[in-house]
């Protein structure tokens, strides 16, 4: 009997999404004779029933293309913006799933996408997920689609900043994506030879960073590269934020919930200027001119690396294999050289953070990189 399978890409765009769609679609159609329906713009497309039938013609020639032919959005099934309100549209999605007589829905995305998939699963939708995120913060998988490409882009940026820092005897502070984990900043900082690397998992002392820069200056090195993860915080700010999160957790079901939520959002909003403020402080403490570079969305764009194309193809074809074998409710995880199914309930709501004793951290310290502590 022919299986009918839906597929969507959700969350932030990431290099390798098209490669994953191609790998999954070609294997599902050519190897197993499945019918594959793509939903545009993530869960919003599933809610609006905006579809395209995937076949050899629209899956051809997309392996090397960045972005996603299906488009994406960050909309959540249970909190969908609709006419100025946020509504739970899960039941509508279930209706559309059933309207197409789908056997399984494949959701390609990061942490938020996996949470949403788990919610749909509780409503009776069979799901299989594929991990993608440049942040590398998904639990249960060794690698996520997009991380390798973003790591290469960020490393190239740090490489290029060395020449201008050296020419002008400056401190260059470069902000690197990663959300609330430091994999991207740590990896690109080490690979690019950054002198200071600041990540969320290790709160920093600004004075310690300034002293490391002054030590370099005294040793005749008149420039420094500071790689900052967007989620990195000073020790003081980290304590304030942790307390705000604890207050929100305590107030979740009480009358103070909105006040606690507003406090968390206030801190997060103020943090968006953290890198600029840090550069100004370092300039004041060291007497050296500082400049800020925020890489931003350039890290999400462009052609996926060879590794990401390979990983996306492996994960995509494995998803088709799992569906053919009747598996659902799982994430397709890269484990070592193999691929394994991991139950969604084991990984949803968890983050893969950088352990403070991780080999990358140890290596950074061994080559004299300052981590702000």
Tokens encoding 319: 């998803």
Residue 172 has pLDDT above 80, yes or no: yes
* DSSP letter, residue 296: G
Asked whether residue 371 is domain-assigned, the answer is no
Q: What is the pLDDT of residues 91-111, one digit of tens each?
A: 999 999 999 999 999 999 999
* pLDDT for the residue numbered 42: 96
| Contacts of 209 by beta carbon, 8 Å cutoff, 6+ apart | 196, 198, 226, 278, 282, 370, 372
Structural domain harbouring 27: 4-146+304-347
* pLDDT score, position 247: 80
pLDDT at 331 over 90: yes
Give yes or no: residues 103 and 158 share one domain: no
Do residues 141 and 223 share a domain? no
Would the pTM count as exceeding 0.95? no
Same domain, 173 and 309: no
Q: Residue range 265-272: average pLDDT?
A: 87
Residue 191 belongs to a domain: yes
Assigned domain for 353 exists: no
Instruction: Give the residue, 259 or 348, on which the prediction is more confident.
Output: 348
* 234 vs 224: CA distance, rounded Å: 19
Give residue 339's pLDDT band: very low, low, confident or very high (50, 70, 90): very high
| Predicted pLDDT at 98 | 96
Q: Between helices 274-286 and 206-218, what is the axis angle to 10°?
A: 50
Shared domain check, 109 and 17: yes
Same-domain pairing of 12 and 141: yes
Euclidean distance between CA atoms 38 and 10, whole angstroms: 12
Our CA angle for 190, 196, 202, nearest 5°, is 90
In a domain, 352, yes or no: no
Query: Looking at the 3D structure of the chain, how many domains does it have?
Result: 2
Q: Report the pLDDT value the prediction gives residue 209, as an integer from 0 to 100.
A: 96
Give yes or no: residues 332 and 206 share one domain: no
Helix (H, G, I), strand (E, B) or coil at 336: coil
CB 244, CB 267: distance < 8 Å: yes
Render pLDDT for 73-86 as a digit per residue (tens, 0 to 9): 999 999 888 888 88
Mean pLDDT of the chain: 93
Q: Which of 135, 205, 206 is CA-nearest to residue 171? A: 206
Burial of 314 (0-12, 13-18, 19+ CB in 10 A): buried
Find the helix or strand (DSSP H, E) in which 39 lies. Answer: strand 35-39
The CATH number assigned to the domain holding 58 equals 3.40.50.450
Q: Are residues 185 and 316 in the same domain?
A: no
Q: Are 105 and 6 in contact (CB under 8 A)?
A: yes
Selected catalytic residue, list 103, 135, 148, 195: 135
| CB 186, CB 136: distance < 8 Å | no
Q: What is the pLDDT of residue 366?
A: 97
Could you give the C-alpha distances from 250 to 241, 244, 258, in angstroms and in order?
A: 14, 10, 12
308 is catalytic: no
Q: Are 183 and 264 contained in the same domain?
A: yes
């Amino acid at each position: 009997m022919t299986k009918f399978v839906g597929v969507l890409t959700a969350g932030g765009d990431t290099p390798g999404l098209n490669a994953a769609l191609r790998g999954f679609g070609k294997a599902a159609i050519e190897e197993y004779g499945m019918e594959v329906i793509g939903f545009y713009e993530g869960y919003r497309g599933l809610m609006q029933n905006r579809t395209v039938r995937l076949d050899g013609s629209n899956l051809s020639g997309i392996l090397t293309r960045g972005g996603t032919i299906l488009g994406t959005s960050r909309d959540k099934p249970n909190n969908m913006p609709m006419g100025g309100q946020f509504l739970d549209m899960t039941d509508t999605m279930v209706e559309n799933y059933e309207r197409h007589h789908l056997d399984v829905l494949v959701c390609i995305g990061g942490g938020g996408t996996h949470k949403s998939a788990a919610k749909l699963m509780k409503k009776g939708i069979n799901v299989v997920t594929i991990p993608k995120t440049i942040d590398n913060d998904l639990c249960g998988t060794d690698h996520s689609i997009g991380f390798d490409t973003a790591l290469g882009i960020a490393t190239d940026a740090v490489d290029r900043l060395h020449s201008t820092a050296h020419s002008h005897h400056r401190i260059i502070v470069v902000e690197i994506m990663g959300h609330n984990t430091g994999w991207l900043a740590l990896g690109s900082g080490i690979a690019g030879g950054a002198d200071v690397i600041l990540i969320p998992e290790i709160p920093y002392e600004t004075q310690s960073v300034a002293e490391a820069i002054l030590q370099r200056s005294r040793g005749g090195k008149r420039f420094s590269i500071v790689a900052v993860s967007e989620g990195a915080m000073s020790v003081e700010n980290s304590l304030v934020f942790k307390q705000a999160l604890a207050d929100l957790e305590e107030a979740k079901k009480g009358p103070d919930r909105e006040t606690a939520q507003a406090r968390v959002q206030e801190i997060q909003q103020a943090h968006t200027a953290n890198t600029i403020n840090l550069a100004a402080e370092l300039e004041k403490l060291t007497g050296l001119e500082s400049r800020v570079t925020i890489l931003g969305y350039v890290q999400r764009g462009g052609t996926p690396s060879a590794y990401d194309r390979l990983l996306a193809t492996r994960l995509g074809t494995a998803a088709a294999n799992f569906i053919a074998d009747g598996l659902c409710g799982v994430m397709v995880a890269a484990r070592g050289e193999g691929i394994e199914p991991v139950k969604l309930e084991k990984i949803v709501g968890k983050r893969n953070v950088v352990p403070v004793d991780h080999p990358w951290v140890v290596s950074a310290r061994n080559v004299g990189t300052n981590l702000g502590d």
